[in-house]
Chain A
Amino acid sequence: MVNIVQEVFEGFTTSLKGMKVTLRELFSPGCTLQYPDERRVMPERLRGMVVNDASRCIACNACVNVCPVGCIESEGEGKGKDRQPMRFTIDYTKCLWCALCTEVCPTESIFMSEDYETVFRDRTQMIRDFCSNPIPPKPGDRKRTTKPLGVPLSGRVAP
């Protein structure tokens, strides 16, 4: 009998303590951002959608070989410094956004853009050929200038 009364009393006191916590939270400001009117400032190293600047690319197939899921395909022509890709496709249905390809690229042509709001309305759009549908060229010369997974050199790139 005493046990039940004691438990109920303890139930009251602990509930009141909990209610104090919730009341305190009630008067604290909320932390929600009203997206899309308010957006978060994204960090520099954000791994956005991976894109390739075909003008810099030398079709060395380093990214093709390192990709864990095999979403990149490329065909090149020419030799040495003049090598250019004829066809370079990334299959976004498979891409993991892991950025392994950006680490091995010798010319930093493939990089993670700042685009994180990718929406595709059609599966056929999800395989993009960067030779026929290129992105604006990345500024700077072809040599690797930054560390692996470094800062993307250009701004937001539209798909």
Chain B
Amino acid sequence: MHFVPYLHEQILSAWPVSVVVLLIALIGAGIMLAWVAVVALVAVWAERKVSAHMQARLGPMYVGGFHGWLQTAADGLKLFLKEDIIPAMADKWLFIQAPVLVFGGALLAYAAIPFGPKLVVSDINIGVFYILAVSAIVAIGIIMAGWASHNKWSLYGGMRTAAQFLSYEIPSALHLMPVIMYAGTLNLGEIVQSQETGLFGWGGIFGWYAFRNPFLFLSFICYYISSLAETNRTPFDLPETESELVAGFHTEYTGIRFSFFFMAEYADMFVVAALSTLLFCGGWNCVLPRSVQFVPDPVVFVLKCSAFIFLTMWLRWTLPRFRVDQLMALCWKFLIPLGLLNIVGSGLWMYIFGQVK
């Protein structure tokens, strides 16, 4: 909230603090909404191109000239102009509110994501906790969508999500614990700052939490897998299995409502990529030590997030999907015990090597 005192003292001293806070909140929300729109635009286009080239195709080539980069905008415009159909027997109020919750949950997380040392809408001290909590609102939205569609197949999708999402929240949080233990704080900006110096005082890649300690490396991989399950990406995309449930929980949605679900998926993908980067891969610190870094921080951050998003897409187009019970088994029988093991192991490592703060 450092913008607030700066603004309040330097420029708008006549106004009460609460109004300044509100102003910052509105401007921040506006910027983040624009950023989410850009992310969705680029991510959807990238997904189509990456998937196409992996499948010996070409993807969008026409709209906007160079390899169809405006294709998403054209598709978004088309979706906006489509007829809004609500099934006759659907629960109307729930049907309308579900996409709002899903998109809102994805968007709320952006309030705490820093793009640079102090470039954040809201620099709260419980950043990690806030993001994890707020992302869970998406689950309620999906269940509502599945129920309100009055369609047994959508119901299947919604119920699967309920199980999957809530189960995978636990390993997500557990695997982040060792990082929190090392950093000693939940504030995202400070976590990244603590990655500036690592082993023997070397910076750069040695400072990244993913490489500090074998348990942390394991945590990194397991957190990434849990985050795939959180965002319903293959191999965990049961709620929206195209081949079994037509389109899962969003079968009955058309037009703008569908585009909400669609954008929310890509927005959420960026959030988890951002969390992985910030907590495990040095955030806006690049591979070289901080002193020789010449690329601006937000650029490095966005590039790293893009690398994670590319990896997510690569996995989607390579792997088949899990069955529901295999997914649950993976979570409860493998990831959660491993998470607990990682916490204990990291703690012991910190104690033995004297890294306790």
Contacts and interface: CB of A to CB of B under 8 A. Distances in A.
Q: Do chains A and B touch in the complex (CB under 8 A)?
A: yes
B50 interface: yes
Contact of B314 (A22, A30, A31): A22
Given A18-B319, A30-B58, A25 B53 contact: yes
Contacts of B61: 34
A8 B334 contact: yes
B119 to A, nearest CB: 33
Given A26-B50, A34-B61, A18 B56 contact: no
A124 interface: no
Given A15-B318, A19-B318, A23-B314, A4 B334 contact: yes
Given A4-B333, A15-B318, A22 B54 contact: yes
A18 B318 contact: yes
Contacts of A118: none
A91 B76 CA distance: 42
Nearest to A20: B318
A27 B52 CA distance: 11
B357 interface: no
Interface string B287-324: 00000000000000000000000000011011100000
B55 interface: yes
B55 A25 contact: yes
Contacts of B318: 15, 18-19, 21-22
B57 interface: yes
A30 B319 contact: no
Given A15-B318, A18-B318, A18-B319, A25 B58 contact: no
A31 B334 contact: no
A83 B62 CA distance: 54
B333 A30 contact: no
Interface in B45-73: 50, 52-59, 61
Interface string A1-41: 00010001000000100110111011110111010000000
A22 B333 CA distance: 30
B58 A34 contact: yes
A27 B50 CA distance: 10
Nearest to B62: A34
Contacts of A22: 54, 314, 317-318
A30 B333 CA distance: 42
A87 B54 CA distance: 55
Contact of A19 (B56, B314, B333): B314
A25 B52 CA distance: 10
Interface in B141-176: none
Contacts of B53: 25-27, 30
Interface string B327-338: 000100110000
Contact of A31 (B56, B319, B333): B56
A83 B295 CA distance: 86
Nearest to A17: B318
Contact of B54 (A4, A25, A31, A32): A25
B314 A25 contact: no
A114 B189 CA distance: 67
A30 B56 contact: yes
Contacts of A4: 333-334
A87 to B, nearest CB: 46
A21 B61 CA distance: 24
Contacts of B315: 15, 19
A21 B330 CA distance: 25
Contacts of A18: 318-319
A23 B111 CA distance: 35
A23 B315 CA distance: 10
Contacts of A23: 54, 314
Interface string B4-42: 000000000000000000000000000000000000000
Nearest to B55: A25
Given A18-B319, A19-B314, A34-B61, A25 B56 contact: yes
A25 B53 CA distance: 7
Contacts of A25: 53-56
11 contacts: A4-B333, A8-B334, A15-B318, A19-B318, A23-B314, A25-B56, A26-B50, A30-B58, A31-B56, A31-B57, A34-B58
Interface of A: 4, 8, 15, 18-19, 21-23, 25-28, 30-32, 34
The 9 A-B pairs of least Cβ separation, nearest first, read A30-B58, A32-B58, A18-B318, A22-B318, A22-B54, A26-B54, A26-B53, A25-B54, A30-B57
Given A26-B53, A30-B56, 13 more contacts: A4-B333, A8-B330, A8-B334, A15-B318, A15-B319, A18-B319, A19-B314, A22-B54, A22-B318, A25-B55, A30-B53, A30-B58, A30-B59
